[in-house]
């Protein structure tokens, strides 16, 4: 059996696209014994169900009493005792509310903003309390925080020895690994696509490998694609991970399955990083998929009824990589090698199949930047074939988007929100970022979206190398001084502090941005970025201060829930609360 797992943590509104894509591809090529599991949503549901979580409360009481019986406490023990005592009071107070809070996010209560916010608050407080035995580790609805660094192999492996603080180890071991190992598995595939999944995903790998050395454990996802150079030098992770699939994974996973069940020659598996006789091998050259040969993703077996959403929102893909490939801060070209596109007609078919099969009317494009020509054809086909959906996706500000009433066409096709990487509104900074956009295009696009009724999300970057305080404030003022924008339905905006990532143009030529030295802590063998010294613009401390000011200002003006909290949730809110306005606008188009 091929067993594919998506580990904690991820946003609970919708499934991630990786496993359904892999399952569909394997099925297409005759491999049908494939199981997929989303442990992120399964674990969240488990912890938020009182009938399942009550043993943790008993542990809170027992551990608090044990600590109370000690004559002296260390500083850590005192902190943990206080946390346990607080949790001992909170859990009984919320135990009759937690099930209702979860249910409310799966029904029409979701659309009542006060109830929505209250439910999320209850769940976060509940998770923080019920997991008090693992202090200082914490789990929230959308993430986790541990004292172990995901950037250090030694700390990751140290977490395995501390199940009292690595709740993934303890809970996976108790509730999930026995069931997984009861199956006749020859390959376990773990998809790690974010930093927060590193410890949870590798914890699962270690638990399985420790008990069943015959199972081939492979890890895929964008995180380790960025770490090929580190893995190639040798890594302790190979003690419990047999291989890593880097870059695109469909064909490599199929070939891996074929070799494990046939010739067992792993050198024939593209994109594979593996260890043979103590030596790490990297199967180059790296291959990419023919996107138009990929089948429609298969979500069968995913726990679609567990997601915290009243209606299904499913991810779809129109392209991989980024057609621009020039932004100085971006590592996407490094992850995907080349930009390539799926035919718009094929994606329309994907949407139609998924809509009918899973009763889904909301779709989220996972593309890094949707190509404008693709969008034009895709939207036109949806309108022509009367496919009634609502969707959102990310794209770059482009002059060509403003031609031929293309934004009107997108709206008619069901586009309800566009996600823009604004990054900056200062022209010098935009040019330094190599964004390839002029302020006038940004202004015109914003005005057109406001006119048509397409909601917008902006990403801002604060502290880009050479950026000054005044330039950063120019960007935030562009957003915060536009009342029409702030008051437009569904508007959201998130500011992030600049991180210098591996695989970016800045890493390759730091001097161009006045960076004098790149450095990482020596123990961070899995580091995905760098600290740096700079001779122009804000220092790191100054950028942090400005970033904090901007975040505070944005949080005062832009409602966090639901639009900033989750783009998927925001899409559902727009579809529900703007229903009458949407119908009026669409009627106006048909009457022309």
Task: Tell me the C-alpha distance between 124 and 147, whole Å.
Answer: 19
Show the low-confidence residues of the chain (pLDDT under 70): 334-336
Find where tokens 């120019």 sit.
474
Are 242 and 365 in the same domain?
Answer: no
Pair 369, 428 in one domain:
yes
What does the pLDDT read at residue 126? 98
Query: Do 18 and 92 have their domain in common?
Result: yes
**Where is the domain boundary, 259, 282, 305?**
282
Same domain, 96 and 224: yes
pLDDT score for 329? 96
The answer to the question of residue 529 being in a domain is: yes
Q: How much is the pTM?
A: 0.96
Q: Is residue 295 part of a domain?
A: no
| CA distance linking residue 251 with residue 22, whole number of Å | 9
Provide the domain limits for residue 163.
2-282
> How many structural domains does the chain have?
2
Q: Would residue 287 count as lying in a domain?
A: no
- My answer on whether 75 and 116 are in the same domain is yes
In a domain, 52, yes or no: yes
Last residue of a domain, one of 258, 282, 306: 282
Instruction: Note whether 145 and 260 are same-domain residues.
Output: yes
Instruction: Answer yes or no: is 450 within a domain.
Output: yes
DSSP 103-143: HHTTSGGGGSHHHHHHHHHHHHHHHHHHTGGGTT-EE-SS-
Q: Looking at the domain assignment, is residue 459 inside a domain?
A: yes
CA 135 from chain centre, in angstroms, equals: 25
Check which CATH number belongs to the domain holding 430 and give it: 3.80.30.20
Structural domain contains residue 543? yes
Can you give the pLDDT at residue 511?
96
Residues 338 and 452 in one domain: yes
Same domain, 182 and 108: yes
Q: Are residues 500 and 543 in the same domain?
A: yes
CA distance 416 to 388: 12
Question: Are 127 and 254 part of one and the same domain?
Answer: yes
Residue 364 has what pLDDT? 98
Q: Are residues 84 and 187 in the same domain?
A: yes
Is residue 554 assigned to a domain?
yes
DSSP 490: T
Task: Convert the pLDDT of each residue in 141-193 to its tens digit.
Answer: 999 999 999 999 999 999 999 999 999 999 999 999 999 999 999 999 999 99
Tell me the two tokens of residue 389. Answer: 């959906």
Domain end, chosen from 237, 260, 282, is at 282
381 and 333 in a single domain? The answer is yes
């Amino acid at each position: 059996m091929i067993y594919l797992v998506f580990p904690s943590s991820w946003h609970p509104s919708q499934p991630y696209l990786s496993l359904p894509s892999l399952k569909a591809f394997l099925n297409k090529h005759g491999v049908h014994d494939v199981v997929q599991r989303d442990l992120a949503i399964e674990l969240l549901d488990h912890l938020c169900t009182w009938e399942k979580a009550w043993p943790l409360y008993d542990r809170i009481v027992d551990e608090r009493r044990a600590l109370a019986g000690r004559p002296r406490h260390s500083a850590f023990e005192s902190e943990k005792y206080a946390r346990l005592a607080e949790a001992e009071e909170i859990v009984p107070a919320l135990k009759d509310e937690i099930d209702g809070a979860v249910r409310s996010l799966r029904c029409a209560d979701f659309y009542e903003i006060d109830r929505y916010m209250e439910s999320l608050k209850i769940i976060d407080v509940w998770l923080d309390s019920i997991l008090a035995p693992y202090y200082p580790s914490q789990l929230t609805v959308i993430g986790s925080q541990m004292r172990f660094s995901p950037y250090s192999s030694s700390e990751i492996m140290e977490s395995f020895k501390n199940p009292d603080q690595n709740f993934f180890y303890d809970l996976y071991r108790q509730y999930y690994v026995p069931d997984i190992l009861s199956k006749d598995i020859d390959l376990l595939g773990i998809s790690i696509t974010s930093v927060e999944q590193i410890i949870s995903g590798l914890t699962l790998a270690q638990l399985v490998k420790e008990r069943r050395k015959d199972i081939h454990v492979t890890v895929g996802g964008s995180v380790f694609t960025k770490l090929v150079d580190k893995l190639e030098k040798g890594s302790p992770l190979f003690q419990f991970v047999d291989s890593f699939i880097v870059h695109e994974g469909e064909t490599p996973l199929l070939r891996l399955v074929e070799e494990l069940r046939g010739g067992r020659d792993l050198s024939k598996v593209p994109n594979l990083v593996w260890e043979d006789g103590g030596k790490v091998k990297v199967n180059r050259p790296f291959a990419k998929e023919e996107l138009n040969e990929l089948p429609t993703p298969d979500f069968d077996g995913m726990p679609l009824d567990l997601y915290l959403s009243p209606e299904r929102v499913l991810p779809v893909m129109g392209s991989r990589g980024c057609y621009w490939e020039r932004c100085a801060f971006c590592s996407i070209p490094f992850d995907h090698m080349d930009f390539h596109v799926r035919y718009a007609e094929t994606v329309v078919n994907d949407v139609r199949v998924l809509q009918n099969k899973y009763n889904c009317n909301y779709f989220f494009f996972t593309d890094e930047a949707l190509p404008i020509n693709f969008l034009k054809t895709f939207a036109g086909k949806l309108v022509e074939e009367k496919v009634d959906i609502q969707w959102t996706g990310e794209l770059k500000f482009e002059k060509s988007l403003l031609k031929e009433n293309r934004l009107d066409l997108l709206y008619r096709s069901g586009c309800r929100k566009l996600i823009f990487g604004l990054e900056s509104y200062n022209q010098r900074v935009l040019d330094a970022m190599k964004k390839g956009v002029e302020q006038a295009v940004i202004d015109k696009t914003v005005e057109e979206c406001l006119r048509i009724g397409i909601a917008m999300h902006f990403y801002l970057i604060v502290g880009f190398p050479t950026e000054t305080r005044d330039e950063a404030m120019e960007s935030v003022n562009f957003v915060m001084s536009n009342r029409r924008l702030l008051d437009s339905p569904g508007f959201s905006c998130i500011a992030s502090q600049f991180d210098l990532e591996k695989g970016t143009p800045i890493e390759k030529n730091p001097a161009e941005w006045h960076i004098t030295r790149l450095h990482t802590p020596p123990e961070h063998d899995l580091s995905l970025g760098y600290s740096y010294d700079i001779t122009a613009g804000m220092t790191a401390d100054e950028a942090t201060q400005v970033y904090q000011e901007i975040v505070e200002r944005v949080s005062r003006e832009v409602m966090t829930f639901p639009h900033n909290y989750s783009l998927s949730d925001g899409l559902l809110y727009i579809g529900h609360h703007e229903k009458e306005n949407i119908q009026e606008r669409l009627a106006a188009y048909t009457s022309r």
